[in-house]
Structure 1
Amino acid sequence: MTKRHYRFIELFYIVTGSFLTAAGIALFATPAKIASGGVSGIATILYHTLGFDTGLVILVLSVPLFVLGVVIFGKEFGIKSLSGTVLLSLFTSLLNQIFGYGGVLDYTNVLSVLLSAIFGGVIMGIGCGLVLKSGANTGGTDIVAQILARFTPLSLGSSLFLVDTVIIVASGFFFGLESALYATITLYIMGAVIDKVVLSFGTRSAKTVFIISEKREIIQKAILEQLGHGGTILSGSGMFTGSDRPVIMTVVMNHKLAQLTNIVHKTDNRAFMVVQEAYQVLGEGFTPIEEAAWAGLSDVTQQQDKN
């Protein structure tokens, strides 16, 4: 595949993904008062409380956050992420103008809220997954989570969970407990769909990645700063040359693999990557080791009880 084809596919993912995400927000989430985290959740709350256009709020909140991300993480933080943010804002406002702010379902029927939670989550999950597959993101509170992970003991996953939880709790305050519960359903569905879209093969939630590159230092810095992940440098040597070839080993969640691949491709298109299923990942940023240990102990106890 040529670089031109690669760029075209990348652009297709960003544009299509931004449009689908906007459709989920404008046609399902906002009309149903479902604020499932992120800047779009804040935009939904502000629309129903103050009447602000959701697309405009997404832009107004996301661009300063993007600038803050560039200041903290450097200019390589990604112009594509800004593109995703701007497109999401424009598409959301456009769909609001075409369909109005009432969505496509009849909300006098209480079942419509549940349908919005489900189908809105699916559509937004597909959209966000396509954007992430391009190596970009739609910015917003993801940047806040990255900053929290950078300057606090919290992992990136914990930071994302914390930010989304605050927004969902706020939605419960403004719209009621039922709305917050629907938002939780949407958030869960989005996460599951994003994993399926970003990585259409495999059944695990994380991947072990080995990277061999002449530009190892640049890649490992990007893994630390852009992905918020760590890793290990393994000793190695080339079979033909006999020279030292250090190997980066890192574990990333499925939805981060496309971004990592994009980083490696841009840094060194002659790099060598090996991607493997991670059956279980224990430690910071993933499942706590003590939690898995207690689960294993419980399984053993149950088996002893049966015997």
Structure 2
Amino acid sequence: MNGERVREAARTWLILALGTAVYAFGIEYFILPNLLMEGGVTGIAVLLQYAAGLPPAITSLAINLPLFVFGWRLLGRGAMVYTIGGTLLLSLFLWLWERTIDAGWIRPFTTKQDFILVVLYAGVTLGAGLGLVFRSGGTTGGVDIIARIVHRWRGWSMGQIILTMDVVILGSALLFIPKEKVLYTLVSVFISSRVIDFIQEGAYAAKAFTIICQNPERLAAAITKELDRGVTLLPAVGGYSGEKRMMVYCVVSRFEIRKLKSLVREHDRQAFIVINDVHDVLGEGFRED
């Protein structure tokens, strides 16, 4: 058991380190050279870079240090370990990428002819990095800590708190960069959010079928035989008729959706089918975590 815990912790820290490295690369390679912005404390650090030439690796850590103290006291050790680790790793990788670019080993991506290309790649890179960070259970600190504290103190929605702070940060950027760059940033943030959702929900997306039909036992047997998928029979009661019957519940991959629909229709043309999105499916026949 101890060996499993060590391997799981090592895997978590590896994903966290990879995520912060990718996110820091997006900041140094796409955001800063093109005068774009970012939300949260990283956005404040980027803004200080534009306004006073202060390196984000130092300012992001300096802003987060007092938040660590409040977060540790109010949220507890368990909630802060990976957040502190993610923040420290982010500052480290921001510094490393900055030194790498300054040394000329990597040339930052800049263009004036097709700026939308910068926005697309910036959004994908930042989203991929943050998605890995969140998937590991960590954060990059800053606004996330403030949102948790205010949510616990006042009960306000964490999403609304983060959105409000990001709006203030992006609004402040208008004092230092052209408004067109702020608008481009909004596109990048949108793309980033979609990529974060994709990574967190998992690339192993599937569909869950809930089926009400005649003779559900026979359908379950057919699904097991034809698709080699596990099936669960759930007890149900008709709200109008009061009739007791069994529902069929089955999860299949995206490539088996049409085949399962056809199988159900062959079994019962009057069957009632509800299909739901399922994300990050673990278990036999899908992904083993």
- The one-letter amino acid paired with 1:160 is I
Instruction: Verify: 1:42 aligned to 2:44, yes or no.
Output: yes
% identical aligned pairs: 29
| Gap change, CA 1:53 and 1:39, over 3 Å in 2 | same
Following superposition, which runs of at least 4 residues in structure 1 exceed 6 angstroms of deviation? none
Instruction: Report deviation, 1:147.
Output: 2.4
Q: Which residue of 2 aligns with 1:31?
A: 33
- Residue pair 2:31, 2:37 contacting (<8 A) in 1 also: yes
Q: Which residue of 2 aligns with 1:22?
A: 24
Superimposed CA distance per residue, residues 102-137 of structure 1 (whole angstroms, 9 cap, x where no aligned partner): 961234x2524x323221111111111111111111
TM-score (norm 1): 0.62
Aligned counterparts of 2:196 and 2:28: Cα–Cα separation in 1: 19
- Secondary structure (helix, strand or coil) at the match of 1:21 reads helix
Q: Which residue of 1 aligns with 2:60?
A: 58
- Residue pair 2:122, 2:188 contacting (<8 A) in 1 also: yes
Instruction: Report deviation, 1:9.
Output: 1.4
Aligned counterparts of 2:117 and 2:58: Cα–Cα separation in 1: 26
Aligned counterparts of 1:182 and 1:148: Cα–Cα separation in 2: 30
TM-score (norm 2): 0.65
Equivalent residue for 1:105, pick from 102, 106, 109 = 109
- Secondary structure (helix, strand or coil) at the match of 1:31 reads helix
- The one-letter amino acid paired with 2:33 is P
Equivalent residue for 1:13, pick from 4, 15, 33 = 15
Superimposed CA distance per residue, residues 2-31 of structure 1 (whole angstroms, 9 cap, x where no aligned partner): 223212211110110010010011111122
- Flag structure 1 segments of 5+ consecutive residues without an equivalent: 205-275, 280-307
Instruction: Report deviation, 1:203.
Output: 8.0
- Residue pair 1:40, 1:54 contacting (<8 A) in 2 also: yes
Larger Rg: 2
- Residue pair 1:43, 1:58 contacting (<8 A) in 2 also: yes
- Residue pair 1:41, 1:167 contacting (<8 A) in 2 also: yes
| Gap change, CA 1:2 and 1:97, over 3 Å in 2 | same
- Flag structure 2 segments of 5+ consecutive residues without an equivalent: 208-275, 280-289
Superimposed CA distance per residue, residues 54-108 of structure 1 (whole angstroms, 9 cap, x where no aligned partner): 111111112221222112212222212111101100111111111139961234x
- The one-letter amino acid paired with 1:37 is G
| Gap change, CA 1:118 and 1:130, over 3 Å in 2 | same
Instruction: Verify: 1:170 aligned to 2:172, yes or no.
Output: yes
Q: Which residue of 2 aligns with 1:191?
A: 193
Instruction: Give 1:129-168 correspondences, 5 Å limit.
Output: 129-168=131-170
Instruction: Give 1:215-226 correspondences, 5 Å limit.
Output: none
- The one-letter amino acid paired with 1:76 is G
- Residue pair 2:38, 2:46 contacting (<8 A) in 1 also: no
Instruction: Report deviation, 1:202.
Output: 3.8
Task: Say how many residue pairs are matched.
Answer: 206
Aligned counterparts of 1:110 and 1:42: Cα–Cα separation in 2: 28
- Residue pair 1:26, 1:103 contacting (<8 A) in 2 also: no
Instruction: Give 1:59-78 correspondences, 5 Å limit.
Output: 59-78=61-80
- Residue pair 2:25, 2:94 contacting (<8 A) in 1 also: yes
| Gap change, CA 1:203 and 1:78, over 3 Å in 2 | farther
